[in-house]
Amino acid sequence: MTSDVIERLKAAEPELIAIRRDIHRHPETAFEEVRTASIVAQKLTSWGFAVHQGLAKTGVVGTLKGKRAGQKAIGLRADMDALHLQEKNAFTHRSTIDGKMHACGHDGHTTMLLGAARQLAVDPDFAGTVHVIFQPAEEGLGGARVMIEEGLFDLFPCDAVYGMHNAPGLPVGRFAIRSGPMLAASDSWTAVFHGTGGHGSAPNRGTDPTMPAASFILGVQGIVGRNVPPTDTAVLSVGHIAAGAFNSPNVIPSDVTVRGTSRSYRPAVRDILERRLGEVARSTAESWGCSVDYTYQRRYPPLVNTADQTAIAIAAAAATVGAENVDGNAAPITGAEDFAFMLEKKPGAYIMIGNGGDEAGGCHYVHTPLYDFNDEIIVTGAAYWLNVVQQELGAAAG
Ligand SMILES: [Zn+2]
Ligand SMILES: [Zn+2]
């Protein structure tokens, strides 16, 4: 990238910071990103993008053709949604909406892609088409999946898609990525154990669902230890237990609900978790004369970067910050991300950009009340996007 482009991004930095802080002040949660989407659409339109609104309610797609002819099209994706969380920061751009907060930095993601979009419009020196995709509802509700279901890739065919997320604990000016599985599949499961319950003084007169529930909770960890191949990895955690009444410790409850989350990186391992959780739940229920209703909800698939596009992302990051600042073999993360749905459909790569701090700390993690996106990295992130476009559609691309 020419220093000229960096200079123009730098010149736009104060305006980009103002956009970022404005979005931060007005956080909007899943599928309600009306204000944010209208800012995005208005800016893209004013810069000469063809703008489509309404996919997954508040999704925005801007399309720009390069000044040179080319058949190839790529998608660059940012997320726009905030979290249900009470912000505890005191700075002037803190959230103005009680109970809502941009605690995952999607305000920054939106801004970095806007910064790149504007520069692309100023100088569309590429061959082919760039679609900038601004999606709603990344946090838990699968906005990417809904956009795809509503025709994202039919309306805007893409040969490859790219995503980016900020990483607190990764220093400013650094990128991290890996080829293959990078983020986990995130699923939920529920087992409701049923027995007769009864008087706590006479358990022999009925069946007690707390027995299989307790045994199941311990047995769950055996699935990871005994059924998941040792060279793979998985996480099973119980997050919710409910039974009986606090004021009735002398009553054996008739139902015990156990809910949890499961994380895995490969479809085969995901299948093992779904099947074995059910088997362990049913067999423990049966052994205590109880029954169980077991459900497994597949939420986010594993996020799998394809090799060719990972190489492109690494080259783009290296062109932005120098090869020595790009970790191309980063450790997988047990978090999940709904960009995984896009990567199920298209080749692509998802990269982490350092938000500051280091592994020892010195920063607030995402989803915590004192987190804030680091404005220092906006230009770096926008430059990365421009380098992806150059790698994919630039003069040197083939
Ligand atoms: Zn998040
Ligand atoms: Zn996020």
Q: Mean pLDDT across the stretch 19-39?
A: 98
Ligand 2 centre from 331 Cα, in Å? 18
pLDDT mean over 67-72: 93
| 77 Cα–ligand 2 center, Å | 12
Extract the tokens encoding 230. Answer: 């040792």
CA of 6 to the centre of ligand 1 (A): 29
Distance 166 CA to ligand 2 centre (A): 8
Q: Give the count of beta carbons closer than 10 Å to the beta carbon of residue 243.
A: 17
Cα of 382 vs centre of ligand 1, distance in Å, is: 20
Residues, the chain: 398
Q: Per residue in 97-107, pLDDT tens?
A: 999 999 999 99
12 pLDDT above the threshold of 70 = yes
State in Å: Cα 18 to ligand 1 middle.
22
CA of 19 to the centre of ligand 1 (A): 20
SS3 239: strand
Question: Is the C-alpha dihedral spanning 280, 286, 289, 291 positive or negative?
Answer: positive
Instruction: Report how far residue 378's alpha carbon sits from residue 16's, in angstroms, rounded to the nearest whole number.
Output: 8
CA dihedral 273→277→283→288, nearest 10 degrees, is: 160
Mean pLDDT of the chain: 96
On the question of pLDDT at 398 being above 70, the answer is no
CA of 250 to the centre of ligand 2 (A): 45
Of 110, 173, 112, nearest to 143 by C-alpha is 110
Is the pTM above the cut of 0.85?
yes
pLDDT tens sequence across 376-395 = 999 999 999 999 999 999 97
What average pLDDT does the segment 328-347 reach?
95
Q: What is the pLDDT of residue 396?
A: 59
Q: How far is the CA of 106 from the centre of ligand 1 (A)?
A: 8
pLDDT tens-digit profile of 78-87? 999 999 999 9
Q: Which residues are in the CB-under-5-Å shell of ion ligand 1?
A: 104
CA of 277 to the centre of ligand 1 (A): 27
Residues with CB under 5 A from ligand 2 (ion): 104
pLDDT at position 167: 96
Region 227-237: mean pLDDT is 95
Which residue from 300, 334, 195 is spatially nearest to 251, judged by alpha carbons? 195
Please compute the mean of the pLDDT values over residues 212-219 and round it to a whole number. Answer: 97
Give the pLDDT confidence score for residue 149 in this predicted structure: 98
Q: Angle CA(154)–CA(156)–CA(157) in degrees, nearest 5?
A: 70
Average pLDDT estimate for 214-235: 96
CA of 367 to the centre of ligand 1 (A): 6
Give the distance (Å) from ligand 1 centre to CA of residue 195: 39
Q: pLDDT, tens digit, for every residue of 239-296?
A: 999 999 999 999 999 999 999 999 999 999 999 999 999 999 999 999 999 999 999 9
Element of type H or E holding 390: helix 378-393
Give the ligand with the smallest distance to the CA of 368.
1
State the distance from the centre of ligand 2 to the C-alpha of 165, rounded, in angstroms: 6
- CA–centroid distance, 198 to ligand 2, in Å, is 46
CA of 169 to the centre of ligand 1 (A): 15
With contact defined as beta carbons under 8 Å apart, do 335 and 342 qualify? no
- Tens of pLDDT, residues 115-159: 999 999 999 999 999 999 999 999 988 999 999 999 999 999 999
Consecutive H or E run containing 277: helix 267-287
Nearest ligand to the C-alpha atom of residue 108 = 2
Centre of ligand 1 from the C-alpha of residue 209, in Å: 36
For residues 304, 305, 306, 309, the Cα torsion angle rounded to the nearest 10 degrees is 160
Report the SS3 class of residue 252.
Answer: strand
- Dihedrals phi, psi of 282, to nearest 5 degrees: -70, -40
Range 39-43 average pLDDT? 98
pLDDT (0 to 100) of residue 2? 66
Comparing 397 with 390, the larger pLDDT belongs to: 390
Q: How far, in Å, from the CA of 121 to the mean position of ligand 2?
A: 27
Strand locations in 280-324 (E):
291-300, 303-305
CA-based nearest residue to 109, from 385, 329, 396: 385
